[in-house]
């Protein structure tokens, strides 16, 4: 999943970003409100973490701006302003969650997971499937035909993106932007290597393959019967 973090304190931003990346999230960072709004308009994020006291445009103003063009993206405000009035102002601006600083990272993570689960009322949103392949986002488990498949954090994130884009051709550049950093060198062979790792784990013991290469275009994940 892709997260936008808007935080002007670079040490705090780096701490949060590194922690989220260890949990298989892809994180873009902005350091002021203007940059944050530009990035929010350009990319469909799964969630936005937004500090209140940021330069050029406050977190409250930025939250209202985002809500003017995107009513659905989950927004969590992070701030040292923890009075009731501040919380009410944040919620009235359109935030879904309000987490006061200082906080433990595991607390932020729990709030983020709860926020993402509440995006939809459909229980199946936490399970992604194609053919006999099943990914449970809550338990972070993957099975094929009932057989457990052990993945690294990066492989899990890559497979999640494939499943969310199933039956659609995705380019290496798109994978780089969604699963790795936006500044990732998409001309390197790292993506090909990880796709190869993932294929071996998914297809071991099965005749029918799930991830297919379109030379010069990208990759596509399809159920065997639709290939």
Sequence-ordered list of residues with C-beta below 8 angstroms from that of 162, at least 6 positions apart, any chain: 170, 198, 211, 219, 221
Cα-only R_g, the chain: 19
194-223 pLDDT per residue, tens: 899 999 999 988 888 999 999 888 999 998
Report the DSSP pairing between strands 47-51 and 26-30: unpaired
Report the percentage of the chain scoring pLDDT > 70. 89
* pLDDT confidence of residue 89: 75
Sequence-ordered list of residues with C-beta below 8 angstroms from that of 60, at least 6 positions apart, any chain: 52, 89, 90, 93
Angle at 176 between CA 174 and CA 179, to 5 degrees: 100
26-83 pLDDT per residue, tens: 899 999 999 999 999 888 888 999 999 999 999 999 998 998 888 778 999 888 766 6
Q: Which pTM value belongs to this model? A: 0.55
Give CA–CA dist 71/93, Å, rounded: 11
Give CA–CA dist 219/225, Å, rounded: 17
Structure letter (DSSP) for residue 170: B
DSSP one-letter string for 109-138: HHHHHHHHHTT-S-GGGGEEEETTEEEETT
DSSP H helices, the chain, are: 10-22, 33-42, 59-69, 84-93, 105-117, 153-164, 172-179, 190-203
* pLDDT confidence of residue 152: 85
98-122 pLDDT per residue, tens: 888 888 899 999 889 888 876 654 4
Helix (H, G, I), strand (E, B) or coil at 171: coil
- Residue linked to tokens 């099965």: 206
CA 76 to chain centre: 14
Residue 184 gets the label, from left (phi > 0), alpha (psi -120 to 50) or beta, of beta
Q: For the chain, what is the largest distance between any 2 Cα atoms, rounded to a whole number of angstroms?
A: 61
């Amino acid at each position: 999943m892709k997260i936008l973090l808007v935080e002007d304190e670079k040490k705090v931003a780096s701490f949060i970003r590194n922690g989220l990346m260890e949990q298989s999230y892809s994180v873009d960072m902005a350091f002021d409100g203007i940059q944050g709004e530009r990035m929010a308009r350009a990319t469909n994020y799964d969630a936005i973490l937004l500090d209140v006291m940021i330069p050029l445009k406050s977190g409250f103003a930025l939250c209202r701006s985002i809500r003017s063009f995107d009513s659905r993206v989950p927004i969590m405000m992070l701030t040292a302003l923890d009075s009731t009035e501040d919380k009410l102002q944040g919620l009235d601006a359109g935030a879904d969650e309000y987490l006061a600083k200082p906080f433990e990272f595991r607390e932020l993570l729990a709030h983020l997971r709860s926020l993402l689960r509440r995006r939809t009322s459909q229980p199946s949103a936490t399970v992604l499937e194609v053919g006999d392949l099943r990914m449970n986002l809550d338990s972070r488990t993957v099975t094929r035909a009932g057989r457990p498949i052990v993945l690294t954090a990066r492989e899990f994130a890559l497979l999640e993106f494939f499943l969310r884009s199933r039956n659609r051709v995705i380019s290496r550049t798109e994978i780089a932007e969604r699963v790795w950093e936006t500044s990732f060198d998409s001309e390197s062979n790292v993506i090909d290597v990880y796709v190869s790792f993932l294929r071996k784990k998914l297809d071991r013991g099965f005749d029918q393959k799930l991830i297919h290469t379109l030379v010069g275009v990208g990759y596509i994940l399809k159920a065997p019967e639709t290939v």
